[in-house]
Amino acid sequence: MAVSERSAAKKPLGSDLGLSTDDLLEMYRLVALARAVDERMWILNRAGRIPFVISGQGHEGAQVGITWALEKGKDWIAPFYRSIATCLTFGMSARDIMTAQYATASDPSSGGRQMPGHYGSHEHNLVSVSSPVATQLLHAVGLALAAKIKKTGQVAMTIMGEGSSNQGDVHEGLNFAAIHKLPFIFIVENNGYAISVPLARQVAGSSVAQRAAGYGIPGVTVDGSDVLACYSAAREAVDRARAGDGPTLIEAKVTRLTGHSSDDQQTKYRSEEELAADRSLDPVPKFRAQLVDAGVLTPQAEERIDAAIKDAVHDATEYAEAQPDPHPSTAMKWVYAEEWPSEGPPPWGMGESTDATVDDASLPDTVAD
C-alpha cells in the first residue's frame, strides 16, 4: 500500500510540519542573516561607528521558528529589543535594521529618534518598541481585541524576555486576554538572565510557562535552539488562536551569547564555564547541522546563501553609513497629528538650528497610517 510505503521511507525534514525544502532554506537564511547583521553591529560598535548595540545572538532560532508560524502582512507582532530575527522574518530588511543602528533620517523604525534596537514598522505589522519592558504585551492584547471585534481573523503575538515577564502588565494582560479568549500569543524568550540577575532570582518556580495555568490557558516550554520545535509550538498556538480557543503562552529556552548590551560585561557575573556551556546551545550551528544532515543544506545552497548574506550585510552597512542624520528642523514633527501654534520650539534658548532651511533629502521618511 502506498501509505505503508511512504511511512517506510525516511520522511523529508519538516514535511510533517508542512515545511518544504525552500521553506527550510529560507528559515536558515533568516537565522544566519540575523546573526551576521548582529555580529556586524558589534564590530561597528567596537570600531566607534555606532554608540550602542543590543543583541539577539542566541535567540535567532526561536525567533525565526516562531515568527514563521504567523501570516506575514496580516498578523501582528509587538516585539522587543532583541527581536532582530523576528523583524527580518516579518519583512524588515537588513538595511532597515542597520539604519536603526545609525539612527538615520531614513530609519523606518523611528527616523533616528529611538535608541538602536527599538524596531517597528507599520508596513510590516511590527508595533514600535519602547524601552519600558512588558508594556507591549497590552498592545498586542488590544490588537487581538480589535481583531476579535472586527472579525478579521488576525492573530496578535508579543515577545519579551523572562525578566520582563514579571511586570504587572503581563498579569493584567494575560488575565484579560484569557477572559475574552482573544487570538493572542505570548512568547517568552527565556535566556536565563535579566541583565545580570539569573532566573532563580527573577522567576519563582523557575518557569514562566507554568504561570499559564493560573489563567486557564496552555503554557508550553520549548527548546529555543530547535527551530522546528519552535515553529511547531507556535503553529499550534496560531491554530488555537484562529479557531477562537484563546491565548497560548510559549516559553522558549534560549541562550544569551552576548552581554545584555554593548554597555555590559557579562563575565562580571557569569563564569567562563557557564558561558562555554551556553555556546553549545547556539541555534545557528545547530540548525545548520540539522539541515546538512537532512541533505537540505547542500554545499551549493550554503555557498549561495552565505554569499547573499555577506552582500546584504555589506550593502546595509554601506547604505546606513551614507544616510543623512535627521535635521533638527524636523524634531518638532509628529508630536501630534497636526501642528499647533502653541506647540512650537521654545522661543528662547534654542539658537539658530531650528530656523535653518531644510534640505528636502534630509527629511525623515514617514510611513502613512
Q: Which residues are catalytic?
A: 256, 260, 269
Q: Is 145 a binder of another protein (CB under 8 A)?
A: yes
Under 8 Å between Cβ of 294 and 12: yes
Least distance between another protein and beta carbon 332 (Å): 9
Cell numbers for 150: 472586527
Q: Is 118 a binder of another protein (CB under 8 A)?
A: yes
Of 337, 352, 360, 361, the one binding another protein by CB under 8 A: 337
Binding mask 170-199 for another protein (x = CB under 8 A): --xx-xx--x--------------------
* 198 beta partners: 193
Q: Is 168 a binder of another protein (CB under 8 A)?
A: yes
Least distance between another protein and beta carbon 344 (Å): 10
Say how far residue 143 (Cα) sits from the centre of its chain: 17
Q: Given the rule CB under 8 A, which of 13-21, 133-141, 253-261, 272-280 is the region that contacts another protein? A: 133-141
Which residues, other chains included, contact 89 with Cβ-Cβ below 8 Å and sequence gap of 6+?
A: 30, 63, 64, 67, 68, 72
Rounded to 10 deg, the angle between the 60-67 and 283-293 helix axes is: 60
Q: Given the rule CB under 8 A, which of 2-10, 54-62, 109-117, 232-240 is the region that contacts another protein? A: 109-117
Least distance between another protein and beta carbon 173 (Å): 6
Q: Is 334 a binder of another protein (CB under 8 A)?
A: yes
Name the nearest CA neighbour of 184 among 150, 158, 219, 212: 158
Of 195, 204, 335, 356, the one binding another protein by CB under 8 A: 335
Say how far residue 112 (Cα) sits from the centre of its chain: 19
**Residue reference for cell 520545535:** 229
Of 77, 85, 147, 238, the one binding another protein by CB under 8 A: 147
The rounded radius of gyration (Å) of the Cα atoms in the chain is 22
Of 13, 17, 138, 294, the one binding another protein by CB under 8 A: 138
The vertex-342 CA angle with 337 and 348, nearest 5°, equals: 120
Least distance between another protein and beta carbon 77 (Å): 12
Cell numbers for 212: 499559564
Name the nearest CA neighbour of 157 among 55, 227, 255, 67: 67
Q: Is 71 a binder of another protein (CB under 8 A)?
A: no
Least distance between another protein and beta carbon 99 (Å): 12
- 290-321 in b/e burial notation, b at 16+ Cβ within 10 A? bbeeeebbeeebbeebeeebeebbeebbebbe
Q: Is 369 a binder of another protein (CB under 8 A)?
A: yes
Chain residues 210-239 in contact with another protein, contact rule CB under 8 A: none
Cell numbers for 17: 510540519
Under 8 Å between Cβ of 54 and 97: no
Least distance between another protein and beta carbon 115 (Å): 10
Q: Is 333 a binder of another protein (CB under 8 A)?
A: yes
Which residues, other chains included, contact 367 with Cβ-Cβ below 8 Å and sequence gap of 6+?
A: 108, 121, 122, 123
Q: Is 349 a binder of another protein (CB under 8 A)?
A: no
Q: Which residues bind another protein (CB under 8 A)?
A: 76, 78, 107-111, 113-114, 118, 120-122, 127-128, 130-132, 135, 137-150, 154, 156, 168-169, 172-173, 175-176, 179, 333-337, 340-343, 347, 364-367, 369
